Amino acid sequence: MSDDPSRSLDAFASGKLASLEASALRRRLVETARGPQASAERGGRGLVSFSCNDYLGLSHDPRVVAAASEALARYGAGAGASRLVTGNAPPLVALEERLARHKGKEAALVFGSGYLANLGISPALVGADDLILIDDLGHSCLFAGARMSGARTLRFAHNDLDQLRSLLAEHRGAARRALILTERVFSMDGDRAPLPEILALAAEYDAWTLVDDAHGLGVVEAGARAPLEMGTLSKTLGSYGGYLCASQAVIDLLTSRARSFVYTTGLPPASAAAALAALAIVEAEPERAARPLALARRFTARLGLPDAESPIVPVLVGEAEAALALSAALEARGFLVVAIRPPTVAPGTARLRVAFSAAHDETQVDALAEALAESLAELRPSGSAGGSR
């Protein structure tokens, strides 16, 4: 008789956890009650959050909440089935029309989340005889979708147009179809892709381009549009869900073939109604959309960091442990700025990721800059290595 297998299972889990713990890479859930005006409560303490992706503060906007409540009362809590069965509730249809119009595309398809969208898109468009070229700093779900497609997948160094060109020159010929995956605003670095140049290369080599616009929509939008524009309803739109905007033919194909769309329950109608109300606010109040970037620039100027390119400002720390300590020092001063560690970012580049929102005011931003400078001085006695950017 062998041992109870659940014992070896638990031993495996405990061993893995111990090694994560030893390298300061274990992750823990912290109960957090988010409120309006970028507030958050942890362990009974009120904090100002600089870690939410709710860039326009719309998750608590009364108009967004009301739209969700109405849809909840009318259509119920859940979609009831896949969208291809009975889960295609009216708010989803209206949201798709509005998203397509917003992006200047013929059509849109709403998925259960941005992660699910990226798991479904690449495998429906490319396969074993094809090529995917992906920016090295692309989001985890872009890599996961690429892997599921079975296409040959090559990374190019972050925003490195020369390497992208040479990979296309070398490998495009052998591939039936080619797909380039990048982001408008990079989620952990806050910088932007050189999209006009990427689209020009794509045209030269007959490659398709997907732009993940998770952190661009509603805040950093101007500029070139790719044939495939995907994103999320869970950041600026303050709700939950994902989408792809593209031509009608592409959307029709994905509707039939994206497995993460076909074989999963539709998004709850209230989530779609919230996102739709949020998108209407984004379009009606452009002055609100300009605020997060303006606040980010105020912050980078105060700290002598390079000018922010988006509402996301990374403060590079280096080791995971140091990033956790800096985050704790800020929390003690009333600010919630969560540490980002490997494997979300490359080893040695643990950081604080500061995210600005239209819900912040200038006083809060200045206070954070001061608290950060103090905490850095406290944790990093003069002469020690490390730097922020």
Ligand X SMILES: *Cc1c(COP(=O)(O)O)cnc(C)c1O
Closest approach of Cβ 164 to ligand X, in Å?
Answer: 18
187 is catalytic: yes
Closest approach of Cβ 387 to ligand X, in Å?
Answer: 25
DSSP state of 77: S
Instruction: Determine the residue with CB nearest ligand X.
Output: 114
| Options 215, 229, 260, 375, the catalytic residue | 215
102 is catalytic: no
139 binds ligand X (CB under 6 A): yes
16 is catalytic: no
105 is catalytic: no
Of the residues 149, 153, 232, 349, which one makes contact with ligand X according to CB under 6 A: 232
Of the residues 149, 234, 357, 364, which one makes contact with ligand X according to CB under 6 A: 234
Q: Which stretch binds ligand X (CB under 6 A): 58-66, 208-216, 263-271, 284-292?
A: 208-216
Of the residues 71, 141, 237, 330, which one makes contact with ligand X according to CB under 6 A: 141
215 is catalytic: yes
φ/ψ of 353, rounded to 5, equals -110, 110
Closest approach of Cβ 210 to ligand X, in Å?
Answer: 11
Q: Determine the straight-line distance between the first and last CA of the chain, rounded to whole angstroms.
A: 59
135 binds ligand X (CB under 6 A): no
187 binds ligand X (CB under 6 A): yes
Residue 183, helix vs strand vs coil: strand
103 is catalytic: no
Closest approach of Cβ 388 to ligand X, in Å?
Answer: 22
**Which CB, 155 or 215, lies closer to ligand X?**
215
Q: Which stretch binds ligand X (CB under 6 A): 19-27, 150-158, 207-215, 270-278?
A: 207-215
Please work out, in degrees rounded to the nearest 5, the angle formed at the alpha carbon of residue 65 by the alpha carbons of 60 and 71: 155
Distances (CA, A) of 180 to 116, 152, 176, 200, 255: 18, 12, 14, 12, 21
Question: Rounded CA gap, 350 and 317, in Å?
Answer: 6
User: Which residues in 283-315 are b (16+ Cβ under 10 Å) and which e?
Assistant: eeeeebbebbbebbbbbbeebebeebbbbbbbb
113 binds ligand X (CB under 6 A): yes
214 binds ligand X (CB under 6 A): yes
Contact letters for ligand X, residues 41-70 (x by CB under 6 A): ------------------------------
Closest approach of Cβ 185 to ligand X, in Å?
Answer: 8
235 is catalytic: yes
Interstrand relation of 178-183 and 208-212 (parallel, antiparallel or unpaired): parallel
Question: Rounded CA gap, 311 and 356, in Å?
Answer: 5
User: Could you tell me where the DSSP H helices lie in the chain?
Assistant: 5-22, 62-75, 90-103, 114-125, 140-149, 161-171, 195-204, 248-257, 259-262, 269-284, 286-303, 320-332, 362-379
| Options 102, 103, 105, 235, the catalytic residue | 235
Residue 212, helix vs strand vs coil: strand
| Options 96, 183, 189, 331, the catalytic residue | 183
122 binds ligand X (CB under 6 A): no
| Token representation of residue 245 | 């905007």
Question: Rounded CA gap, 274 and 276, in Å?
Answer: 5
| Options 118, 139, 149, 327, the catalytic residue | 139
Active site residues: 53, 139, 183, 187, 212, 215, 235
Which residues make up the interface to ligand X (CB under 6 A)?
Answer: 113-115, 139, 141, 183, 187, 212, 214-215, 232, 234, 242
